[in-house]
Each structure stands twice: as C-alpha cells, then as structure tokens.
C-alpha cells in the first residue's frame, strides 16, 4: 500500500470514486487500493452497479477496479452475471473474472465461476465465447478440462478458440491433448489445422 492512514485518515468513498474518474492512471490505482483497504464491501457494491456504464472508458476503469478486490469480488460479480442477460454486463463480468484469476493464482477451479463458465460456453455471442475461452486460458491447467470438452463443439469459433488457448497453456497435459487431437480424423478440417499450428508453440515435430 502506498498511502499512510495515519496522516490521511480514512478517505470518503465519494472522493475515491471521483479519483477513479480522474484521467491520471496513478490516481486511479491509488483510489482502487484505498477502496479495497477502507471500503471493500461498499466499493464492490457500487462498482458492480457501474458495469453497464455507457461511458466505455469509465466502464473499463470499473472493471479494472473490481480486479483489485480479487477473490472477495467473485461471488458478487458472478451473481450479477447470472441474474442478467445484458451483453454489456455479462461481458464486463467476464473481464473482471479474467483480471481476478490473473492475480489470484488459484489451486482449484473457483466454485463461483463454474456456472458462469458453463453458461458462457453455451452462448452463441462471439464476444462472450472469446472472453470465456480467455478466462479458461488464464486459469491454465485448471481450465484445460473445459477447453478440451469445447474442442468438438458444433460452434466452430468456440472449438477453434479452445484449440488456440490450449496451445498457449504451458503444461505437459495440454501438449498431450493436442498430439492426440492431431490423430483424430473425426475433427473438422478447420479445427485440425488449428491443432497443427498450436502444436508449433511447443516445437513439436509434425510429420
């Protein structure tokens, strides 16, 4: 933490949200840290209400701010996702999850994300598909089982994106999966081609 509570005292939540809107990113970051320190529950509740902002820049700042709360924000954001069908809100929620899993380094798949991920994988919207695949990619080995299940999905975008994501996961099981898929003649030609190129990430000879 880069601020002194002894000198500054407890900042008002209203002032912190004003700082979040400031054009200076350093001021934004300090505001987020203070929110997490002094007003965690109130800040999460208020930030969540801003995930459908029409102002794109402010919405991005809101997504980034929620990421600072880490695991503490997951359940609330997950509820928002599940209770809404609005594309902007759902996409914003997935972006928050991506930021959170990047910094938390989970050892097991977060329970609050299971239903969110399963629902997103059934979505036909390209933005939701790409975001949920990125989320699974960020989860690394933990996201691998769901990515593997998505490889033979009838949605080509989902299947191809899943192959690419697997090729970016630095784990022996991901490499083994791609090698096995290369021998699977039942795969769509487009997906087989994606598997071929994804294997190149591991410098695996292809004959």
Q: What angle do CA 8, 31, 34 make, to 5 degrees?
A: 55
- Two structure tokens written together for 170: 């630095």
Q: Is residue 17 part of a domain?
A: yes
CATH of residue 71's domain is 1.25.10
Q: Is residue 127 part of a domain?
A: yes
Q: Is residue 99 part of a domain?
A: no
Q: Is residue 72 part of a domain?
A: yes
Q: Does one domain contain both 133 and 195?
A: yes
Q: Does one domain contain both 110 and 74?
A: no
Q: Is residue 132 part of a domain?
A: yes
The boundaries of the domain holding residue 27 are: 11-88
Q: Does one domain contain both 129 and 196?
A: yes
9 and 35 Cβ atoms separated by less than 8 Å: no
Q: Is residue 94 part of a domain?
A: no
Q: What b/e sequence results for 58-84 when a residue is b if at least 16 CB atoms lie within 10 Å of its CB, and e otherwise?
A: ebebbbbbbbbbeeebbebbbebbeee
Which residues neighbour 28 within 8 Å (Cβ) at sequence distance 6 or greater?
19, 20, 22, 61, 64, 65
Q: Is residue 5 part of a domain?
A: no
Q: Is residue 100 part of a domain?
A: no
pLDDT, tens digit, 9 for 90 and up, residues 46-89: 999 999 988 999 999 999 999 999 999 999 999 999 999 999 99
Full pLDDT tens readout for the chain, 207 residues: 344 444 468 999 999 999 999 999 999 999 999 999 999 999 999 999 999 988 999 999 999 999 999 999 999 999 999 999 999 999 999 999 999 999 998 999 999 999 999 999 999 999 999 999 999 999 999 999 999 999 889 999 999 999 999 999 988 888 888 888 888 888 888 888 888 888 877 654 444
Which is nearest to 84 in space by CA: 130, 48, 33, 131? Answer: 48
Q: Does one domain contain both 125 and 184?
A: yes
- Two structure tokens written together for 197: 């190129």
> How many domains does the chain contain in total?
2
pTM: 0.89
CATH of residue 164's domain is 1.25.10.10
């Amino acid at each position: 933490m880069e601020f002194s509570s002894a000198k500054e005292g407890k900042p008002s939540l209203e002032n912190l949200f004003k700082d979040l809107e400031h054009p200076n990113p350093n001021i934004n970051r300090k505001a987020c840290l203070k929110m997490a320190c002094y007003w965690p529950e109130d800040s999460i509740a208020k930030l969540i209400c801003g995930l459908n902002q029409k102002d794109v820049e402010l919405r991005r700042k809101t997504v980034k701010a929620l990421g600072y709360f880490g695991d503490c924000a997951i359940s609330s954001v997950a509820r928002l996702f599940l209770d809404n069908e609005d594309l902007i809100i759902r996409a914003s929620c997935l972006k928050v999850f991506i930021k959170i899993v990047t910094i938390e380094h989970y050892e097991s798949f977060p329970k609050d994300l299971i239903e969110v991920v399963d629902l997103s994988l059934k979505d036909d919207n390209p933005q939701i598909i790409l975001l949920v695949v990125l989320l699974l990619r960020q989860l690394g080995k933990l996201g691998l089982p769901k990515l593997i299940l998505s490889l033979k999905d009838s949605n080509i975008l989902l299947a191809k994106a899943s192959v690419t994501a697997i090729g970016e996961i630095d784990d022996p099981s991901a490499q083994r999966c791609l090698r096995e898929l290369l021998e699977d003649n039942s795969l769509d030609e487009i997906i087989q081609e994606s598997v071929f190129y994804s294997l190149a990430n591991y410098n695996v000879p292809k004959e």
